[in-house]
Amino acid sequence: MPNLQQFLKQLRTVEIPRLIKQSVSTLNIVCGNESADFDSVACAISYAYFEHAKSAQNVYVPIINIPKEDLMMRRDIMFTLNKLDISQDLLFFREDLMEYNKQFNTINAVIVDHNELPKPTKQLITDVIGIIDHHADKQLYPNANPRIITVTGSCSSLVTNFWSKNLESNKYHEALNDCAPLLISAGLLDTANMKYKVENPDVEAFKHYGDLNIPLFTQFDSAFRELRSAKDNIDGLTVKQLIRKDYKEYDLIPKSLESKKLNFGVTSIVEPVEELFKRFNSKDNFFNSCYKYREEYDLDCLVLLTSWNDPKEGRFRRELIIIPKDGLYDTVENLCNNAPKLELKVLDKESQKFVIYEQFDLSSSRKRIMPYLQDVYSTI
């Protein structure tokens, strides 16, 4: 069996050209979500590799659902890929998916770490044939097989556990040994070194990892420290890169058809806005870049979700910053005013431009905030 690096190389240079040459009409892909965080990348690549371990005839192309140039901002992912000697050129991105969409009649996708196709790729994919995910179930694609949607800290744990049950033991262990650095990294980051949001499937997956002979990753404490500092390193990024580093778009659907559907771009950032103002020279500079981004991506509102450990106060903190476009400021501010669960308190605002809230509900990250705001928007 080829190692992970060889597998990826063969896909691009041998397997996909062979399908095209033989005029095969269907391509199978495994697609992570459009934030392309470590979990999504690890799940997509590992799932495809396990399929190959099951049968060399099974061609599944793992897609990282962002433009290729956006990967370098995810320094945690780059860290582990470097250790595996996998360069960006061996991976598959949204550009590749757009190509395959032209070359194949049908694109069937196993989607991992999400359970609804995101806007940017919806029109590129014919059908969803499998789902493994840990987000709230949108009840779509009832015929997907597998269709596993379970609460876990990390979706990577579900991928590991699924294949442990669906692959012969020796094949499973051989393949796991090769993709475990990806799965372990995702698991450690998603659970803060198995201390946070840990559920039974995570515990089960980490039992599998513990026996592997890859000390760089199975010494979990040191691996987590290195990954975390790589992930939080935002030095040298532009505001646009910072926004795109961990980013998702959402449509908020209104209660009545007279109201407007809102297109939100939502990014998670690891520093408070005060630090970002300093980092990008001034508050004005920073916000001007944000306005520019909102225009470029044609958003109704850009939302920044910051979170950090505040050493002065000795606690974890969150902020939520709304930057609505002209004419929608009142609508979005009203939405936040009707979201008591988030415990928002205004820190600073400039009418018709932005509001900076501190968010005292610390348990809600983007994964919970956005479905909640959707609920609120559909009732006001």
Nearer Cβ to Mn ion (155/332): 155
Helix axis angle, 155-166 relative to 169-190, nearest 10°?
170
Q: How far is CA 117 from the centre of its chain?
A: 13
Given candidates 113, 116, 319, 333, which one binds Mn ion under the rule CB under 5 A? 113
Nearer Cβ to Mn ion (38/280): 38
Nearer Cβ to Mn ion (159/290): 159
Count of residues interacting with Mn ion (CB under 5 A): 3
Q: How far apart are CA 108 and CA 148, in angstroms?
A: 17
Least distance (Å) between residue 53 CB and Mn ion: 23
Least distance (Å) between residue 37 CB and Mn ion: 6
Residues 133-172 that bind Mn ion (CB under 5 A): 155
Nearer Cβ to Mn ion (51/190): 190
Least distance (Å) between residue 157 CB and Mn ion: 10
Quick one: which segment of 5-13, 54-62, 113-121, 287-295 binds Mn ion (CB under 5 A)?
A: 113-121
Least distance (Å) between residue 155 CB and Mn ion: 4
Nearer Cβ to Mn ion (39/51): 39
Nearer Cβ to Mn ion (35/331): 35
Given candidates 27, 31, 38, 39, which one binds Mn ion under the rule CB under 5 A? 39
Quick one: which segment of 74-82, 111-119, 281-289, 372-380 binds Mn ion (CB under 5 A)?
A: 111-119
Least distance (Å) between residue 150 CB and Mn ion: 12
Contact letters (x/-) for Mn ion, 266-295, by CB under 5 A? ------------------------------
Quick one: which segment of 66-74, 106-114, 250-258, 340-348 binds Mn ion (CB under 5 A)?
A: 106-114
Please give the order of strands across the beta sheet that includes 301-310. 247-252, 262-269, 301-310, 315-324, 354-359, 344-350
Residue showing the smallest CB distance to Mn ion in the complex: 39
Least distance (Å) between residue 309 CB and Mn ion: 21
Least distance (Å) between residue 280 CB and Mn ion: 29
Quick one: which segment of 11-19, 107-115, 117-125, 317-325 binds Mn ion (CB under 5 A)?
A: 107-115
Least distance (Å) between residue 95 CB and Mn ion: 23
Least distance (Å) between residue 158 CB and Mn ion: 10
3-state secondary structure the chain: CCCHHHHHHHHHHHHHHHHHHCCCCEEEEEECCCCCCHHHHHHHHHHHHHHHHHCCCCCEEEEECCCHHHHHHCHHHHHHHHHCCCCHHHCEEHHHHHHHHHHCCEEEEEEECCCCCCHHHHCCCCEEEEEEECCCCCCCCCCCCCEEECCCCCHHHHHHHHHHHHCCHHHHHHHHHHHHHHHHHHHHHHCCCCCCCCCHHHHHHHHHHHCCCCHHHHCHHHHHHHHHHHHHCCCCCCHHHHHHCCEEEEEECCCCCCCCCEEEEEEEECCCHHHHHHHCCCHHHHHHHHHHHHHHCCCCEEEEEEEEEECCCCEEEEEEEEEECCCCHHHHHHHHHCCHHHCEEEEEEECCCEEEEEECCCCCCHHHHHHHHHHHHCCC
Quick one: which segment of 4-12, 35-43, 201-209, 241-249 binds Mn ion (CB under 5 A)?
A: 35-43
- Name the residues that contact Mn ion, by CB under 5 A: 39, 113, 155
